[in-house]
A and B are shown apart, each in its own frame.
Chain A
Amino acid sequence: MVATSDTYTPAARRFSLPKVRARHVVMVAYLLFMLVPIYWLAKMSFQTNREILGGFTLWPQNPTLDNYRVILTDRSWYIGYINSITYVVMNTVLSLAVALPAAYAFSRYRFLGDKHLFFWLLTNRMAPPAVFALPFFQLYSSVGLFDTHIAVALAHTLFNVPLAVWILEGFMRGVPKEIDETAYIDGYSFPRFFIKIFMPLIASGIGVAAFFCFMFSWVELLLSRTLTAVNAQPIASIMTRTVSASGLDWGVLCAAGVLTIVPGALVIYFVRNYIAKGFALGRV
């Protein structure tokens, strides 16, 4: 009975208007709530500052790319993106490089203190950056790394290494152990097995972990701002600094904001099914 009615209803409804249901209304309203603020940012990025302050408009009257031109040609702006990308990439590579073997160890072996260590990693992911801001500042100043990309990249490993270990462990435990054993019997050494056989098997996991390391390092402000002054200043810090300065150019600020959304927006489609998993540390 159930099966027959299921087969026939869509066919019968095909030529009628789609039924408006409460859940569609809720969904559309929620998506509008999500998108309108982003639209507003994008809208203002296409306006001149005079037009923005001149009167309230729902869309740009004379769309212009001047704000983007300012950012892409003025070194004090675009250097921020270069700095951010530099330390974010360094951090992502470093985090993954150390997290891969560790995650393998956690997913395959029991060893002395493994649970304590795994828990301790979690506490670092959960630790408030505000607690670490001052000691980091002093630590990196004393070793002469203040205002370098390395300092920020190392500081962000505080939460990104635990994140990568937890996510990768979540993916690795899904790979049956028989594969490891077969490979060892076939005479593979551990490094060769790990790179040739194991890493391709968890390629999607590595991708997801890389994406989340990239993202969390990209969106962080407090530590990257505390640890940099001029040479390694990230875009986020440059944006907040212009806010506090007088004579603020809203159009340029919005254009800078839109450009920071681009990296996430570009890859979001590929990771859409893993977003919950990544935020929940590979446990959903």
Chain B
Amino acid sequence: MDKVQNNKAWFLVLPVLVLVAFSAVIPLMTVVNYSVQDTFGNNVFFWEGLGWFKEVLTSDRVHAAFGRQLAFSGIILAIQIPLGIAIAVCMPKRGFWASVCLVLMALPLLIPWNVVGTIWQIMGRTDIGLVGYTLDQFGITWNYARNPVHAWIMVVLMDVWHWTSLVALLAYAGLQSIPQAYYQAAKIDQASRWKVFRYIELPKMQGVLLIAILLRFMDSFMIYTEPFVVTGGGPGSATSFLSIDLVKMALGQFDLGPAAAFSIMYFLVILLVSWVFYTVMTNLDKAEGR
């Protein structure tokens, strides 16, 4: 749609600007402020320069948390994207059962994140949880509170349960927009199911899949509540992802300087990915001619 140039539109945007400035800019400025200062308490601050940034950049703890975060995001993307596509392809296209599938699949997406944590915390226990109990019956000593590998399996399984449906629903929306004529043409050409998928469905889903990957990356990159409830970041710090580590640093130990420097670098990564996301979105809009 061709838009009209009109700077008076600013008046319509003003309320949003004021509100978001209050809830985003002021807190961010506080963070910037802390990141370059040090204190001995009593609200007396002095200039620290880039000291905290150097400290955080060379800190083993932050490196480890960043590594765990990348590993986690990588693993869940590698599972959720193919699984989500597979589910979308298997879903009924229309009618009663399509609605049933949509509703049931969307259910985990709408559960409060701490309850998701509670559910899997219970599921993994060997005395009262289905998963833990079953594994125990097969003679596997299962203890996600002690064993880092088990903790990781729990957290990944939980995230797959929680978010795969989102990928599937996005991919499904992409599939729905493919005109029936494409399938008829493929049928006339006697294309195999795989070829239909590879040369018709996958290219047509490209846009939504890109959105799905970016959304899942962003949301897994700032995951906090679910692993916090299930493992508390443990055992040790085996499942302390970036957000959990940051909250420990900021609100647990009150290390304001390092936490602020950490926050800013964290935010810069997010900014970069957001920019990619924005570019993808606007390019998609252009491709659709809107």
Contact = CB atoms under 8 A, between A and B. Distances in A.
Q: Do A and B bind each other?
A: yes
Given A34-B105, A109-B5, A130 B91 contact: no
B56 to A, nearest CB: 13
Contact of B224 (A102, A129, A243, A269): A129
A158 B270 CA distance: 15
B113 A121 contact: no
Interface in A120-141: 120-124, 126-139
Contact of B22 (A52, A111, A154): A154
Interface residues of B, number: 102
A284 B27 contact: no
Given A111-B6, A260-B115, A280-B170, A41 B86 contact: no
Chain A interface size, under 10 / 10 to 19 / 20 to 34 / 35 or more = 35 or more
Contact of A273 (B6, B12, B102, B273): B102
Interface stretch (B73-81, B127-135, B138-146): B127-135
Contacts of B263: 130-131
Given A27-B101, A130-B247, A102 B15 contact: yes
A136 B174 CA distance: 39
A242 B273 CA distance: 37
Contacts of A268: 103, 106-107, 110
Interface stretch (A9-17, A65-73, A198-206, A215-223): A215-223
A31 interface: yes
A269 B107 CA distance: 10
B90 interface: yes
A33 B80 CA distance: 14
A284 B206 CA distance: 12
Contacts of B151: none
A133 B247 contact: yes
B229 A240 contact: yes
Nearest to A219: B112
Interface in B91-137: 91-92, 99, 101-115, 118-123, 127-130, 133
Q: Give the secondary structure class of A's interface.
A: helix
B30 A135 contact: yes
Given A99-B16, A102-B16, A128 B110 contact: no
A56 B211 CA distance: 42
Given A26-B90, A268-B107, A130 B102 contact: no
B113 A239 contact: no
A111 B9 contact: yes
Nearest to B113: A219
A101 interface: yes
A122 B114 contact: no
Contact of A112 (B10, B105, B110, B250): B10
Interface in B129-174: 129-130, 133, 161, 165-166, 169-170, 172-174
A218 B118 CA distance: 16
B4 A124 contact: no
B243 A128 contact: yes
B57 interface: no
Given A264-B107, A272-B103, 15 more contacts: A30-B90, A40-B129, A41-B118, A53-B127, A111-B7, A118-B278, A124-B24, A131-B246, A139-B30, A221-B113, A261-B107, A264-B110, A280-B170, A281-B281, A283-B211
Interface of A: 2, 22-24, 26-27, 30-31, 33-38, 40-41, 44, 52-53, 56, 94, 97-99, 101-102, 104-112, 114, 117-124, 126-139, 154-155, 157-158, 161-162, 165, 173, 177, 215, 218-222, 226, 236, 239-240, 243, 250, 253-254, 257, 260-261, 264-265, 268-269, 272-273, 275-277, 279-281, 283-284
In order of increasing CB-CB distance, the 6 nearest A-B pairs are A264-B110, A135-B27, A128-B222, A130-B243, A105-B12, A23-B90
Interface of B: 1, 3-10, 12-13, 15-17, 19-20, 22-24, 26-28, 30-31, 86-87, 89-92, 99, 101-115, 118-123, 127-130, 133, 161, 165-166, 169-170, 172-174, 184, 187-188, 208, 211-212, 215, 218, 221-222, 224-225, 228-229, 242-244, 246-247, 250-251, 256, 259, 263, 266-267, 270-271, 273-275, 277-278, 281, 284-285, 290
